[in-house]
Amino acid sequence: MKAVVCALVFLVLTVETPEFARDKFHTFMVYAQPLFKGNPLNLWDVCVGLVALAVALNPRTWRDAVKPLNQALVAALLMVALAVAWGGLRHGDLRMAYFQLHAFLRVFLLVPLLAAVFRSTRDLKLLAMTILAGAVYRAIGCVLAMRLSIIGSRDEWPTDVTGHDDSAIWAAAIVGLLGWLLIQPRLRPALVVGLLAPVILLAIHYNNRRLAWVEIAGSLLLLYLFLPRGPVRRRLTRLTLAVAPVLVLYVAVGWGRSGTLFAPVAKIRSVVADDNNASNLARDLEDMGLVFTLQNHRLLGTGFGQQYEEISMVYTKGMQRTFGIYRYIPHNSVLGLAAFTGLLGFPVIWAFMAVGAFLAARAYRLARSLAEQALAQVAFLSLFIYGQQAFGDMGFVSLKVNLLLACALAIAGRLAILTGAWPARRARSYGAVTRGPRVRVGPTSAPVLARARTSS
C-alpha cells in the first residue's frame, strides 16, 4: 500500500501539462496527463479513493490519532461547507465554488490517508524521499527543457518553464536537504546535498519565479532559529557574521545594475523596492480589492462562489476575455480566503496550520532519533512554505501545493505520536507511546542515540 501511495504522490509532483516548457519539450511524465483529466473527479482521484477505502477497512487506521489535528481539520471542513452554503444563498455560482476549493478539499482526505499508511519513522522517511525524488525529477526536466528548447531560441525568457507551484516543492526540497545536513554534518549527507541542491537551485533560477527565493530565505531563517543552542548554531552564527559584510557590499554595488552577475540582486529589488514593476502594482491593487471586499463583508465574508470586488482594472482589463474567472481565484489565496469566509470563518479554517506547526515543533524537541528531528523540521518548514505560496501565488488552488500541505500535516501528526509529543487517542487500549531520550543536534548525538538503542 505504501508503494501505491508513493506512486500517486510522485505522479502529482511530476505530471507535465501542455504548458510545460511551452509544449516544446516533455519527459516521460507527459503520459500521466490522462490521470488528471476530468471534473469534478479524475482517474487519480478514483485511485486515491480506492486506496482510502481499503485503508479505512483496516482496524489499525483508527488507532493512534492526534485529536487536535483531527478536530482542526473537521472544523475547517465544516466551515468550508458553511461558506459554500452562504455563497449559494447569496446567489453565488456553485460551479465556481468548486474551482475555488477543488485542490484544497483533497487535503481533508489526504491527511488521514497519509497518516494511516505511513505509521513509522521509516515510513515517513519513505514519504519524504518520494517528495524529494519528485522535486529532483521536476528540476532535471526544467533544466533540460531550458537548455535544449528555450536557451538559444529567439523566444523571450519565459515567465515560467514548468509552473508556478513548483516553487513550493523545490523550496521544501532545498531546506529539507540543508536541514538534514545541519542535523547530521557528515560526508554522505554533504555529498547528497552537493549533488542535488545545485540542480534544484538552477531549476528555480530558470523557472523565473521570485517567490521561490522568498520561501527559501524565510525558511533558512526559521531553520536557524529551530536549531538548539550548541556548536552547530555557534558555527553558523560565526559564518553568518563573517559573510554578512560581503553580502551587504554585493547588494549595495549591484542595486540598480543589470547583468548575470547581479541577477540575484535584481530579484531582491523587484520584490522589495521596485515600485514601477507592473507585476507588483497589479498584485497591490488585487490585495486592496480583497481587503475592500473583506471590509464590506467582515463577519461572514462573501461566501464561496462569489467574486472579490475589484477596485481598478488597469492591469486586468484584458483578463476578462482570456481568463474570465480571475476574480474568483485571486493570486493572494490567504486574503482571498479571508474575503470569502470573513473574520468568523477564516480563523477556523486556517487553524490547522497552527496546530500542525505546534505538533511539528513539539516532535522536533522530543525526537528520539536524527531521522525524527529531520522529518519534524521539514514538516514545520513546509507549512511555512505553503503559507508563503498561498499568500503570493495562488497556492490554495494548486493540487501539488496542497499535497505538500497534506504531507506536512500527516508527518507532523504521526511524529507527535511516535515521539510522545501528543498522547495518542486510545493509548490505554493499544499501548501508550513512551518518549525516548532527547536528541542533540550535531556530532554529540551519537552517544545519546547509542544509549537509546541500548536501553530499548
Q: Which residue has the cell 527565493?
A: 213
Q: Which residue has the cell 536541514?
A: 179
pLDDT at 291: 94
Whether the Cβ atoms of residue 183 and residue 441 lie closer than 8 Å to each other: yes
Residue 155 has pLDDT above 50, yes or no: yes
**266 domain residue, yes or no:** no
pLDDT at 440: 52
**257 domain residue, yes or no:** no
**306 domain residue, yes or no:** yes
Better-scored residue on pLDDT, 152 or 132? 132
**354 domain residue, yes or no:** yes
Q: What distances in angstroms separate CA 277 from CA 266, 286, 373, one per listed residue? A: 12, 14, 41
**253 domain residue, yes or no:** no
Q: How much is the pTM? A: 0.89
Residue 437 has pLDDT above 60, yes or no: no
Give the tens place of pLDDT for each residue, 99-130: 999 999 999 999 999 999 999 999 999 999 99
The percent of residues above 90 in pLDDT, for the chain, comes to 57
pLDDT at 449: 46
pLDDT at 251: 81
Q: What distances in angstroms separate CA 330 from CA 8, 84, 321, one per listed residue? A: 28, 17, 16
The mean pLDDT value for 205-233 works out to: 87
pLDDT at 425: 56
Domain count, the chain: 1
pLDDT at 444: 43
**248 domain residue, yes or no:** no
Helix axes 333-365, 370-392, angle to 10 degrees: 170
pLDDT at 275: 56
Whose CA is closest to 45, among 34, 55, 60?
34
The mean pLDDT value for 69-82 works out to: 96
**243 domain residue, yes or no:** no
Helix, strand, coil percentages in the chain from 3-state DSSP, rounded to 5:
70, 0, 30
**88 domain residue, yes or no:** yes
The mean pLDDT value for 28-36 works out to: 92
Residue 54 has pLDDT above 60, yes or no: yes
Give the tens place of pLDDT for each residue, 377-403: 999 999 999 999 999 888 899 999 999
**In Å, how far from its chain's centre is CA 317?**
31
Give the tens place of pLDDT for each residue, 307-319: 999 888 877 776 7
Mean pLDDT of all residues belonging to the chain = 86
The mean pLDDT value for 418-439 works out to: 59
Residue 196 has pLDDT above 60, yes or no: yes
**In Å, how far from its chain's centre is CA 364?**
19
Q: CA–CA separation, 189 vs 175, rounded Å?
A: 13
pLDDT at 185: 84
Question: Which residues form the domain of 438?
Answer: 2-232+280-455
Better-scored residue on pLDDT, 301 or 208? 301
